[in-house]
Amino acid sequence: MEAINLVLRVAMIKVIKAGLWTSIQDRGRFNYKHLGVPVAGCMDQTSADLANLLLNNPFDAAVMEITIIGPVLEFQCDSRIALCGADISAKLNQTAISSNTVVNVHKGDVLSFSHLNYGARAYLSVLGGFQTDIELGSRSFYKGISSQIKLEKGDLLDIIPVNKRGFAKHALVKIDKDHFSTSSMTCLPGPEFEFLTEPQKEILTEQFFTLSTLQVRMGFQIEEVFENSMQAILSSAVLPGTVQLTPSGKLIILMRDCQTTGGYPRVLQLTEAAINQLSQKTPKQTIQFKLIK
């Protein structure tokens, strides 16, 4: 962290508009799953890590996760920011700014967003990270753990201000757009995969599936119905990326805020890379499960 440029006091960002679903996230909570507490954290950890890396923040520094429709934010101090992940047409004082680079902001500047160009979730980092409350070792918003689950109009967010003399120009980092465009979700067989018939395995790993409008941080549902004769299982451990098959034939892909146990057969397990890529998909996009053998 560039501590030499940090002023030893805390200032604020004011939320003028909250956006569709905007929250503070970090890498999540660990060592509490035995108590039923999910890890949570950034849906797309790859993009969040890049946003922190650009500012030389620790990887566990809290960032703002912005979903599809962005907020309007007023800076009440000087700072440095970086935006990574989805491109939601960011503007600083109504002038377009680039993603994947460091941007200097001044007291009174207003950050806003307009149309979505690609992806679904953008990550805003500030130098030093967002200084929200730590609960069970994490600043990540989660119902029942943190005081709120998303940002609301009028919220004030603590950040560490920066001296203007520390401002400088920075290069734009080139990203791999395949992270946002790929439809291939790499995965491993789940614990109950072998109970599927051979034709079912073939359909599951070769057919394209459509993401439904039921997309929340807990999980994404698939529109198509998958023929299922499997019985429910005893409640067993699940993870982000676990693909569950319900008795009605619905496939549910568990995401970062998922529960710690479940009673539906676990037919696939997405890789970490695939979880990050899936989090950048919007409803009605199609995906294909690519089994790693």
Q: 113-145: per-residue pLDDT in tens?
A: 999 999 999 999 999 999 999 999 999 999 999
Q: Is 228 helix (H, G, I), strand (E, B) or coil?
A: coil
Separation in Å, CA 34 to CA 30, 50, 135, 258, 260 = 10, 30, 17, 14, 8
More confident: 92 or 31:
92
Mean pLDDT of 215-234: 91
Lowest mean per-residue pLDDT among 58-72, 122-136, 155-169, 172-186: 155-169
- CA–CA dist 80, 106 (Å, integer): 9
Tens-digit pLDDT profile for residues 65-103: 999 999 999 999 999 999 999 999 999 999 999 999 999
Average pLDDT over residues 191-202: 94
Mean pLDDT computed over 246-257: 96
User: CATH 2.40.100.10: does it fit domain 182-291?
Assistant: yes
pLDDT of residue 66: 98
Q: Write the single-letter amino acid at 117.
A: N
Q: Using 50, 70 and 90 to split pLDDT, how confident is the model at 9?
A: low
**Predicted local confidence at residue 167, as pLDDT:** 60
Q: How many CB atoms lie within 10 A of CB 223?
A: 15
292 — pLDDT class (breaks 50, 70, 90): very high
What's 180's DSSP letter? Answer: H
- 207 to 175, 190, 287: CA distances (angstroms): 29, 18, 9
CA-to-CA separations, 9 to 5, 12, 108, in angstroms, rounded: 12, 10, 18
As a whole number, mean pLDDT of residues 135-161 equals 96
d(CA 149, CA 11): 22
Domain locations in the chain as residue ranges: 3-175, 182-291
pTM of the entire structure? Answer: 0.93
228 pLDDT band, cuts 50/70/90, is confident
β-bridge pairing 286-291 and 184-189: parallel
Q: How many CB atoms lie within 10 A of CB 186?
A: 15
Is 2 a residue whose pLDDT tops 50? Answer: no
59-69 average pLDDT score: 97
Determine what percent of the chain falls in helix, strand and coil, rounding each to the nearest 5: 15, 35, 50
